Each structure stands twice: as structure tokens, then as C-alpha cells.
Structure 1
């Protein structure tokens, strides 16, 4: 494929299909964290996780705090903040970000995974919101490291660049890698930004996706639940949530 050729409409639709949520036959969903930005809707298996890798702390640790209160150790990474807005004995904060390699302010996932393994967890969850850096780091992560996590929650950025072939291919590789061992089970559009039109397709600029490892449930079909669903809340209070039922 010519690197200068923009992705076609069918390619964009096939890409979005990779994050379309599936039904779960044996699992329910829970909302963890506050009622706006910083809260996540996840499969309930997360409540059994004893270790959390939380990348991109920012000013809100409400999600981390709920799981720490349940006894989970929470490894937190963020090079953009000086410290945590709230402390907990189960928080382990690193003033480093997640990068494709260890250098400067960033740690590779090999190093983050070593921190996790030192805790000897039985079940783990990965959460990351790294403002557009997700595609590069997912390119570098080892599939066996990703497969270790029961639940993965992340935010994807930059969909206004989907007309660019290079960005499209990087996003496609990221979605495919996440889908190799995990199944998307919840999708929500962050209403902090609006939508962009790419090849005639309206796409939210920010998408939050929750995944469950495929061996932890059965996934018979795509979900037809409304988006937003009953557990979702607008990230920015006072603004209407974005409806993406066509997904």
C-alpha cells in the first residue's frame, strides 16, 4: 500500500470494528472512580485483581483509590506531575512515564513489568491514558506481557489523523495487538473533545476502551447495548455525552 494513499472508507470502518464491544455471557460491568473524567467502566473481574499498573495519573486518583482500598497494590507512573493528589499505603508512585524504551523520563514496559512481577501478583490489571503516546508504546510491548493482564483499560487519541496512512497503520497495529489476547467489552467517547469526519465517518476524537482477556468469559456476539450505557458518565460535567450507537 502506497504510504501516501489515504485509508479508504472501508479501511476506516474495519479499523473501528476492532474496538467495537462484544457481549459477555458470565460477567457484569462496574464503574470505578469518580462520576466524571477519571472514572472507568470495566468488567467486574477487575475487583479480583491484586495489582494494578496505572499509567498517566494526572490530578485524579479516584480510580486507583477504589482498588487500593480493596487491597490491590497500585503501581503508578506519571512524569508530568510532581506527586499524587492523595496518598494511600498501597500506592507505589514513580515519577516516570511509559515509553517505547527506558531513557530520560520514561521507562520501557520491560522495566514496568519487572516492578509488577516483584509484587508477585495473582491477577493484574493495566490502565493507561498517555495523551497520544499509546501507539508507540503498544508497538514495543511484548505480547506475553500484555497477555498477563486480566483487564486492560485505555484511552485512544488522535483520530483526526486517521486520514494519514502512517497514523492509520500504527493505530491498526495497536488495536490488533490488544485484540490478540483480549476482547473489547466496553466503549465510551470522552466528551472533552468532539468528533471528526474521516472519509465520511464521524469519529470521536477520544475513545475509552475496556478489554477482558478472552479466556475469562465467552463472547458470542457484538454488543447492541447503547453507547453511552447506564454506567457511563460525561467526562466533562455539564456537557452532553457523545452518542456513538452506530459503533
Structure 2
């Protein structure tokens, strides 16, 4: 995105500097959370401090190693809906054997689905993998969403029924095979 001329904001307190050096990338050594502190900032503060324009096609990408569930359980979805056309998640800990957590996570996904339509889904093949009913599943899911008011025109094309999108989906762990998607 930086090479295409877009401003990229990176937030991660677990590393000392951003992994990429580009004039369009601005790295902040902070976690994103529900409160402001020395090593944490809120989404509201990010929007304000970086003067995000809600009219622009902003994209929010979230890969926060299982903290996404706590944050999105309490975050203001209308704020996200106002500022971000797309949201890209890596959901961790999607273990169907954990019934109470599964119920909680489904409720959080329902909150997201009120504002956003999933447009792409990919199993992350690095981590715990299940085999059930002749299908493989991963506990880590990569999901791209588009704001519902923008996605309605696209949905008449229908959904992908199965498979890997060649040239787009790549294994997270190259030594492990890709996990195909089959919707029933």
C-alpha cells in the first residue's frame, strides 16, 4: 500500500522499529487497546492524531495475537464504520472445542457483521489444525470485510464456493499445505 502512494500507520509495541522502511509508513511503538497509556493508544486517538478523513477509503488491518476479541467486544463499531471502508482481521483462537469462548466470539463476529460484509476468507495454516467431517480447519482465520453500504453492489456476483484464490492466497507457513475452503 505504501508503494502505491497510501499512508500506512503501523502500531506495535512488541518490536523496536517497523519491519519496512518507506516514506509512506509511519511506525508507532505502541499497542492498540481500549485505553491510552505509555505503551498503548486507542483507535479514537489514532484517528484524531493522524487526522483520518472519513471520506477517504481507509483500511484497518488487525493482527494483534488474540487481543482482537477483547477489543472488539467493547469497541464502538459505529466509529470503525465511519472511518474504515475495509477491515482485515487475523482472528486467533477459533477453537470450536472451547464452547464458552466460541459463543463469545460468535457474538463479537455478529457485531462486526452488522456493519461489515465478509468478502474474503482464508485459513492460516500455521498453528493448530483440526480435521473434522472430512475437512481441515485452522484455529486462525484471515477475514477481509467491506462496509455493508459498499458491498451491496458486489454481492449480486455471489460467493466463492470453495478453493484457494490463485495469486492471492498464500500459505502462512510455506512448509505446510494450504487448507482449502469448502462452503456447504
Matched, 1:131 2:60: no
Q: Decide whether the 8 Å contact of 1:160 with 1:198 is kept in 2.
A: no
- Residues 162 and 200 of structure 1: CA distance in aligned 2, closer, same or farther (over 3 Å): farther
Q: Which runs of 4+ in 1 moved over 4 A?
A: 197-202
TM-score, structure 1 length as denominator? 0.65
Deviation of 1:69 (Å): 1.6
Matches within 5 A, 1:162-177: 162-165=97-100, 167-177=101-111
For residue 210 of structure 1, what is the aligned residue in structure 2? Answer: 144
Number of positions where the alignment pairs a residue of Structure 1 with one of Structure 2: 179
* Offset at residue 198 of structure 1 (A): 8.3
In the alignment, what sits opposite 2:163?
227
- Answer yes or no: is the 8 Å Cα contact 1:159–1:203 preserved in 2: no
> C-alpha separation between the residues in 2 aligned to 1:238 and 1:202?
16
Q: TM-score under structure 2 normalisation?
A: 0.85
- 1:224, CA displacement in angstroms? 3.4
Counterpart CA distance in 2 for 1:169 and 1:115 is 35
- C-alpha distance in 2 between matches for 1:119 and 1:139: 23
Distance, in Å, in 2 between the alignment partners of 1:113 and 1:133 is 20
Distance in 2 (CA, whole Å) between partners of 1:183 and 1:221 is 14
Please say if 1:157 is aligned against 2:73.
no
**2:173 is aligned with 1:236:** yes
- Where does 1:1-247 land on structure 2 (aligned, <5 Å)? 67-116=1-50, 118-120=51-53, 122-147=56-81, 148-160=83-95, 162-165=97-100, 167-196=101-130, 203-217=137-151, 218=153, 219-220=155-156, 223-230=159-166, 231-246=168-183
Compute the displacement of 1:99 (Å): 1.3
- 1:155-179 superposed Cα distances (whole Å, 9 cap, x missing partner): 01112265231x2233122211211
Cα shift at 1:79: 0.6
SS of alignment partner, residue 69 of structure 1: coil
Change (3 A) 1:140 1:108: farther
